[in-house]
Structure 1
Amino acid sequence: MAGAREGSLEAPTRHNLDWKNPDFYDEGKLFAEMERVFDICHGCRRCISLCHSFPVLFDLVDESESMEVDGVKKEDYWKVVDQCYLCDLCFLTKCPYVPPHEWDLDFPHLMLQAKAVKFKKEGASTRDKTLTSTDKVGSLAGIPVVSGIVNALNKNKTFRGILEDGFGVHRDAKLPEYHSKSLRARISPDSGTGAEEAGPTKGKVALFTTCYGNRNDPKSGEDLVAVFRHNDIPVTIADKEKCCGMPKLELGDLEAVANAKDVNIPALARLVDEGWDIVAPVPSCVLMFKQELPLMFPDDPQVAKVRDAIFDPFEYLMLRHKYGKLKTDFKKPLGKVSYHAACHQRVQRIGPKTKEALQLVPDTEIEIIERCSGHDGTYAVKKETHGLSMKIARPVVNKVKQNAPDHYSSDCAMAGHQIANGLDDGSEPEHPISLLRLAYGI
C-alpha cells in the first residue's frame, strides 16, 4: 500500500453508479478493484467496529500466508461482501479516503457492485428473494384472517423452529406484525388548500407510506399524519406506490430497483408538479430517493425532481420551525428518552433533526445513541447473521439499559425492534413521531 497520508478535508462526494455498463459486471475488474480497496482498508483499519465486514476482511488478511491482501483467495472476497448491508457509515463517518481524495474509496458502493455481480451470475435463494419482496409478502400476509394467522405463527416457538430449519429465518429474530388495514387505507387525503410555504417547504406533503409503514407499522404513519395536520400541513398520498427498492438494492437486484422506480417516480413527480412536498417515515426509503436512485439514474429529470422534493419528517418539521411555522403547544413532557439515530438518516447529512424536535418539548431529556443497530431489514432475521446483528446492536442496547429511560426510540422502526429484542424485558420502542404526538396530546 502507498504510504500514509492525510485524508481529504473536502466534503465527501459520490460517483454515479455505472450499473448499465457491461464492465460493471466484469468479475476480473471487480476483483482487481476490491484488492486495491481492501489493501487500503487493511492498512487503515479505522472501520473495524462498524460492522462485521471489516473484521472478516482483516482476519482473512492476518491469517493468510503473506499477511497482506495479496495472500487472500479471491473467492474469499465474497465473505466480506456478504457481511455488508450498505449502512453507508464507513463512507460518511470513518473513511478519510473517499472522493474527492485521490485514492477514491467508496466501500459501500463497491460492495453493492459485488452484490450485483453475484446476483447476475447466481441469482438469489428463495429465502432472500422472498424477504426482499416486501410488497408481495405484505399483500399476502395483510389479507384479513391471514394476518392474524401469520402474526400468531411468528410468535409460536415450534413454528419458528420449523421456519429456521426449513427457510433460514432465525427463531429468535423479532419479526414484524402484519395489519390487514393498511396505512394507505387509513389516510383520507387532504386537498392541499390552506398550505403556507416556509423556506424551502411548500407546506403540504404527500406521504410515501413505504411497504413497512403501510403493512407493518401503520400506527407510526397515522401519528405522522396527526402531527403534520396539527401543524396545519395538509397530507395526501400517491395514487399508487411500490417498495422504494432498498431491499432489492441490498440484494444486488438492480433491475428490480429500476422496475420499482418506474412505478414510484412518475407518481411522485406528478405530485411535486402539483406543489406537494414528499415525506416518508422510514429513513432508508428517503435515502433511496435522495441518494441511490439519483446515482443510478443521473440523467432522469423526474428522479432529480423527486430527490429535491423529498424530506425526512423531522427534517421537514425543523425547517418549518426555522421559519416560525411549527407549533410548540406541547401538553405532556416526555421525561428521559433514549433516542437511536438510524444509520440511513445520519448519512442524509441533515443533522440530528429528530433530537432537535424532541428537545423542544419541555421537561424532556434526549440521550442520542449514534451507533448502528445491526438490523438492516434482512440481516437481523437470517439464520446465519442474526447472532452477528445482535452483537453489533449490543452497545446500543447496553446504552439504553444504562440510561433507564422513560421511552426508547429510533427513526427506523426495525432498529427499534432490534433494541427491544436485545433488551428482552417485554418493553416496546416508540417511534419519535409517536412521541411527538404524545407530547402534543393529540
Structure 2
Amino acid sequence: MAEKIESSREGGIDAPTRHALDWTNPDFYNQDKIDDELYRTFEICHGCRRCVSLCDAYPTLFDLIDESPSYDIDTVEKSDYNKVVDECYMCDLCYQTKCPYVPPHPWALDFPHLMLRAKAKKFKDKKDGLQKRIRNKLLSSTDFTMKYGSIPLVDVTINTLNGSQIVRKPLEGLLGIHAKADLPKFKSNNLKKRVEKLTNSVDKVQANESTTGKVMVFGTCYCNYSVPEVGEDLFTVFRHNNIQTELMQQEKCCGMPKFELGDLESVKKAKEYNAPRFLEAINDGYDIVAAVPSCVLMFKQELPLMFPGDEELQKIKSRIFDPFEYLSLRDKDGLLKKDFKIEFDKISYQAACHQRVQNIGPKTKEILSLIPGAEIDMIERCSGHDGTYAVKKESHEKSIKIRKPVVSKVERFDPKTFTSDCPMAAKHVGNGVTTETETVLHPMSILKDAYGL
C-alpha cells in the first residue's frame, strides 16, 4: 500500500510546478502502481476536501469514503476507483487554483494527470463496453466527424436529424449520446471559405517585444466546421488592428478529445502532424493563435509535458497564444485600436477553465472593459461542458448541475449579453439562462461588434 509522504508543511503557497508525463514508461500502465497512487492521492484529498465544488469527481470520491465501513479510503473497493476517474474531464482547475499539495510541495499531488494515467490504462485495456468505446471514438474523432459532417447537404441533413427527438431518443439507446444534449451544428460554409471572402487589407505590420504582428490561425475542428463565424470575427478584429492574419491550410485536431479519453497514441499522431506545420509558420515569422482555449492549452502545457525533450514543441509553446492574450500583449505598446463605434451594457463573461489554467490573467475581461459602457461580471466557475461530458448519456444531467452556479450568476446580474472564451461552454450555459440575456458564442464577436465592423 502506498504511504503518504511525511511533511511538516501544511499545504503550500508556492506557484505550482508540473512534472513531465512519463507515459512511455511501462510502469505508467501498471495497475497495482496506479491503484497505490490513487489510494495515496485519495487519502490526502479526503483530509482536505477543498475541491468539492469543482466537478463531480470529488463528490463521487467523498461519497465513496463517507459510505464506506471505516469512513476512510482503506475500505473503499479498488474496483470503485474508476467511478472517480470517469468524472474527471481534465479541466485542471484543482491543480492550478485549489490544491495546496501540488509540486513543489513534498506530497506532489497531480490529480488531473493521475486521472489521465488511470484513463490511459482503462483505454488500453478496453475496460469500457463496446457501446461506450464506439461512442467515445465517434465523439473524439473530430477531424472525421467535423470534416465529413460539413459536406454540403450532408450538413443540413445531419443538423435536421440531430434536432429531432424522434431520431435522438433511439440514438441515446444505441450510442449513449443523451437525447437532450445540444450537439454541434455542421456548416458547409466553413472558415476557409469565409476567410477567402474577407478583405485582406492591413497597413504596415508592426512587431513589438512579445509579438511579431503576423498571425497564423489554428482554425481548430470546432471553429473550422461548426462555429466558423467565431473564426471569421477573429480575422476581422485582428486585421482591423493591423495584424497580418492567415489561416493554416493543413491541420488536424489538437488532440484534446483523445487526451481526455486516455488515447495517448492518437495524441502523439496528431502532434506529429501539426507540430511541423506550426514550426514552419513560426520560422516564417508568424505567431500561432487559436480561438478555442483547449487547443491552445494542448500546445502550451499538455504536449510539452508529454514530450519534455522535444525542443520544437518548446518553441511552439513560446509562440502560441490565446487571442485576447495576444491583443493584450500588443496593447502594452499602444498597438490595439480603441476606435469603438458601439457602446455595450452589462456583460456576463464566463472565463473558460482551459483559458484560466494557462495562467495569463483575465485578459478577455481587460480587453472587453475597454469598450465604452461595458460593465463586465467575470464568472470563474466551470460550465460543466468539457466538449463530450455534457453530451454523454451518463454525465449530461451532471453537467447541467455543474453549470447551475454559472447560470445563477448570469441571471442575478441580468446582463444584456453573456459570453465565454469557449463557444461550447457559452452555448451550454446560454441554454440554461431563462432571462432575456443574449448568448454570444465568443467575446471576439463582441469586440467586432463594438468596433462596428
- Write the letter of the residue equivalent to 1:239: Q
Structure 2 counterpart of 1:441: 452
> Is the CA contact (8 Å cut-off) linking 1:314 and 1:353 kept in structure 2?
yes
Aligned mates of 1:201, 1:224 — CA distance in 2? 17
The superposition leaves residues 282-322 of structure 1 with CA deviations (integer Å, 9 ceiling, x where unpaired) of 00000000000000011111111111100000000011101
Structure 1 counterpart of 2:188: 180
Q: What is the Cα deviation at residue 214 of structure 1?
A: 0.5
Structure 1 counterpart of 2:163: 155
Q: SS at the partner of 1:236?
A: strand
> Do residues 319 (structure 1) and 323 (structure 2) align?
no
Q: SS at the partner of 2:391?
A: coil
Instruction: Select 2:442's aligned residue among 406, 431, 434.
Output: 431
Structure 2 counterpart of 1:88: 92
- Write the letter of the residue equivalent to 1:437: K
Structure 1 counterpart of 2:312: 302
- Write the letter of the residue equivalent to 1:205: V
> Do residues 417 (structure 1) and 427 (structure 2) align?
yes
- Write the letter of the residue equivalent to 1:150: I
From the superposition, tell whether residues 130 and 123 of structure 1 become closer, same or farther in structure 2 (CA, over 3 Å): farther
Instruction: Select 1:380's aligned residue among 379, 382, 390.
Output: 390
Q: What is the Cα deviation at residue 186 of structure 1?
A: 2.4
Q: TM-score under structure 2 normalisation? A: 0.95
> Is the CA contact (8 Å cut-off) linking 1:380 and 1:389 kept in structure 2?
yes
1:31-430 superposed matches below 5 A: 31-122=35-126, 125-188=133-196, 194-423=204-433, 427-430=438-441
- Write the letter of the residue equivalent to 1:305: K
The superposition leaves residues 192-233 of structure 1 with CA deviations (integer Å, 9 ceiling, x where unpaired) of 983211221000100000000001110010000000000000
Q: What is the Cα deviation at residue 163 of structure 1?
A: 1.4
Q: What is the Cα deviation at residue 374 of structure 1?
A: 0.5
> Is the CA contact (8 Å cut-off) linking 1:289 and 1:306 kept in structure 2?
yes
Aligned mates of 1:113, 1:357 — CA distance in 2? 37
Between stretches 99-108 and 293-302, larger displacement belongs to 293-302
Q: SS at the partner of 1:269?
A: helix
- Write the letter of the residue equivalent to 2:195: I
Between stretches 134-143 and 249-258, larger displacement belongs to 134-143
5+ residue gaps in structure 2?
A: none
Aligned mates of 2:324, 2:273 — CA distance in 1? 26
> Is the CA contact (8 Å cut-off) linking 2:343 and 2:371 kept in structure 1?
yes
Instruction: Select 1:26's aligned residue among 12, 16, 30.
Output: 30
> Is the CA contact (8 Å cut-off) linking 1:317 and 1:326 kept in structure 2?
yes
Aligned mates of 1:384, 1:403 — CA distance in 2? 32
Aligned mates of 1:331, 1:191 — CA distance in 2? 20
From the superposition, tell whether residues 257 and 191 of structure 1 become closer, same or farther in structure 2 (CA, over 3 Å): farther
> Is the CA contact (8 Å cut-off) linking 1:283 and 1:342 kept in structure 2?
yes
> Is the CA contact (8 Å cut-off) linking 1:191 and 1:236 kept in structure 2?
no
- Write the letter of the residue equivalent to 2:331: H
Between stretches 297-306 and 309-318, larger displacement belongs to 297-306
The superposition leaves residues 385-427 of structure 1 with CA deviations (integer Å, 9 ceiling, x where unpaired) of 0000010000001111111111100000000011122125685
Aligned mates of 1:200, 1:431 — CA distance in 2? 24
Q: What is the Cα deviation at residue 86 of structure 1?
A: 0.3
> Is the CA contact (8 Å cut-off) linking 1:62 and 1:68 kept in structure 2?
yes
Q: TM-score under structure 1 normalisation? A: 0.97
Aligned mates of 1:9, 1:363 — CA distance in 2? 38
Aligned mates of 2:164, 2:435 — CA distance in 1? 18
Q: SS at the partner of 2:24?
A: coil
Q: What is the Cα deviation at residue 5 of structure 1?
A: 4.2
From the superposition, tell whether residues 123 and 184 of structure 1 become closer, same or farther in structure 2 (CA, over 3 Å): farther
From the superposition, tell whether residues 3 and 101 of structure 1 become closer, same or farther in structure 2 (CA, over 3 Å): closer
Between stretches 173-182 and 13-22, larger displacement belongs to 173-182
> Is the CA contact (8 Å cut-off) linking 1:31 and 1:74 kept in structure 2?
yes
Structure 2 counterpart of 1:6: 10
- Write the letter of the residue equivalent to 2:452: G
Q: SS at the partner of 1:181?
A: coil
> Is the CA contact (8 Å cut-off) linking 2:202 and 2:239 kept in structure 1?
no
- Write the letter of the residue equivalent to 1:7: G
From the superposition, tell whether residues 191 and 109 of structure 1 become closer, same or farther in structure 2 (CA, over 3 Å): farther
The superposition leaves residues 176-201 of structure 1 with CA deviations (integer Å, 9 ceiling, x where unpaired) of 11101221232249699832112210
Q: What is the Cα deviation at residue 158 of structure 1?
A: 1.1
Aligned mates of 2:203, 2:26 — CA distance in 1? 49
Aligned mates of 1:284, 1:253 — CA distance in 2? 16
Q: SS at the partner of 1:308?
A: helix
Aligned mates of 1:339, 1:61 — CA distance in 2? 36
- Write the letter of the residue equivalent to 1:34: L
Aligned mates of 2:444, 2:264 — CA distance in 1? 32
Tell me the number of residue pairs that the alignment of Structure 1 and Structure 2 aligns.
Answer: 442
- Write the letter of the residue equivalent to 1:430: L
From the superposition, tell whether residues 173 and 388 of structure 1 become closer, same or farther in structure 2 (CA, over 3 Å): same
Aligned mates of 2:54, 2:162 — CA distance in 1? 30
Between stretches 155-164 and 99-108, larger displacement belongs to 155-164
Aligned mates of 2:203, 2:277 — CA distance in 1? 20
Q: What is the Cα deviation at residue 161 of structure 1?
A: 1.0
Between stretches 167-176 and 98-107, larger displacement belongs to 167-176
